[in-house]
């Protein structure tokens, strides 16, 4: 059975996408897979890009990480075959799919370097979620923290699990 998850890129209040953008992962939705992909997308978004008109110049487009639609696009580029942008929560008054295993909440935050970064919170459904699948009926599994810190935690956890299987 696949691990289903939804990644919610929240809006930053500065553009029309105030409710955010949702990305659905039908399989591979556990934190050991999703968090590294979020880190990959995060690092891609913070990497300067070469200009088209002036190829010898680089431009910082990390401001796009603060916009929910751009952030979701970056994330989908990390696994284009396994992820899809989803409008169901927007169309059904914030209700999520009732059989989700994880909900990831990604918030854009301006970091110390004055560039956007992401803080991520990992949530899991409660019993009330079965009756009413809304974000409020989930509980925090991993508190909100920078995506790089969360990725280090889940990388170590996966390594410990692998070494326990070998022993």
Rounded to the nearest 10 degrees, what angle do helices 68-78 and 31-46 cross at?
120
Supply the range of the domain harboring residue 146: 3-166
pLDDT band at residue 82 using 50, 70 and 90 as cut-offs: confident
In this predicted structure, the answer to whether residue 106 has a pLDDT above a threshold of 90 is yes
pLDDT at 80: 82
pLDDT digits (tens, 9 = 90+) for 25-70: 988 899 999 999 999 999 999 998 888 888 888 888 888 899 999 9
In this predicted structure, the answer to whether residue 167 has a pLDDT above a threshold of 70 is no
pLDDT band at residue 148 using 50, 70 and 90 as cut-offs: very high
Count structural domains, the chain. Answer: 1
Is residue 155 within 8 A of residue 147, CB to CB? The reply is no
């Amino acid at each position: 059975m696949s691990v289903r998850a939804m990644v919610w890129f929240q809006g930053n209040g500065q553009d029309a996408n105030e409710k955010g953008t949702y990305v659905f992962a039908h399989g591979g939705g556990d934190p050991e897979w999703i968090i590294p992909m979020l880190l990959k997308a995060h690092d891609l978004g913070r990497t300067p890009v070469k200009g088209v008109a002036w190829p010898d110049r680089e431009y910082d487009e990390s401001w796009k990480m603060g916009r929910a639609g751009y952030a979701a696009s970056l994330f989908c580029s990390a696994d284009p075959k396994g992820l899809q942008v989803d409008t169901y929560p927007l169309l059904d008054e914030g209700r999520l799919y009732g059989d989700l295993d994880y909900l990831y909440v990604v918030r854009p935050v301006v970091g110390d370097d004055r560039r956007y970064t992401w803080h991520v919170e990992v949530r899991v459904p409660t019993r009330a979620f079965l009756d009413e699948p809304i974000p409020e009926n989930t509980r925090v599994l991993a508190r909100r923290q920078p995506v790089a810190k969360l990725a280090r935690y889940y990388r170590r956890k996966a390594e410990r699990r692998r070494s326990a299987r070998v022993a």
